[in-house]
Amino acid sequence: MDFSNYNKEMLTIDLAKANVAAIKYFAFFALIFGLPYYFIWGFNSKPIFENENLILNIAFPFFLFLFGIVIHELVHGFFFAKYAEKGFKSVKFGVLWKMLTPYAHCKEPLK
């Protein structure tokens, strides 16, 4: 692939700003969907988990959330690999522990 007609430009996203924006969006949508749910069903709606084990009720959604994050990053990696010349050899997965941010990164331009 000939890249002589392209200009390389470094673009970065400030992760702190991205995390703050994500929290704002979460709060916004929690209000939009949570308030109507509360007014329709109240707190006495049938629990999703009828298990009395509090630890299980807390741990299951947490691990389900973590599993969803892994699947989300794998989807990014899959499509990076699909459009990268070297496939999965060009895809890097990791976590920025300081910001608790998982990522999938492609080391080459995509087709």
Q: What is the pLDDT of residues 36-91, one digit of tens each?
A: 988 887 776 556 556 677 777 778 888 999 999 999 999 999 999 999 999 999 99
Average pLDDT over residues 3-26: 88
Residue 96 lies in a domain: yes
Q: Nearest to residue 87, comparing CAs of 102, 75, 77? A: 77
Q: Looking at the structure, do residues 84 and 96 belong to the same domain, yes or no?
A: yes
Q: Please tell me the predicted confidence (pLDDT) of residue 3.
A: 73
Residues 62, 99 share a domain:
yes
Count each helix (H run) and each strand (E run) in the chain, helices first: 2, 2
At 111 the pLDDT is 84
One domain for residues 55 and 71: yes
Q: Is residue 6 part of a domain?
A: no
Rg (CA), the chain: 20
Q: Is position 5 within any domain?
A: no
Residue 50 is predicted with a pLDDT of 64
State which residues form the domain around 82.
Answer: 49-110
91 exposure class (CB count in 10 Å sphere: 0-12, 13-18, 19+) = buried
The answer for residues whose C-beta is within 8 angstroms of residue 78's C-beta and 6 or more apart is none
3-state secondary structure of 91: strand
pTM of the model: 0.65
* pLDDT score of 81: 96
| Lowest mean pLDDT, pick from 4-18, 26-40, 60-74, 82-96 | 4-18
CA atoms within 13 A on the CB side of 109: 9
How many domains does the chain contain in total?
2
Q: Are residues 95 and 72 in the same domain?
A: yes
Instruction: Based on the fold, state whether residues 100 and 54 are members of the same structural domain.
Output: yes
The string over 3-30, giving b where at least 16 C-beta atoms fall within 10 Å of a residue's C-beta and e elsewhere, is: eeeeeeeeeeeeeeeeeeeeeeeeeeee
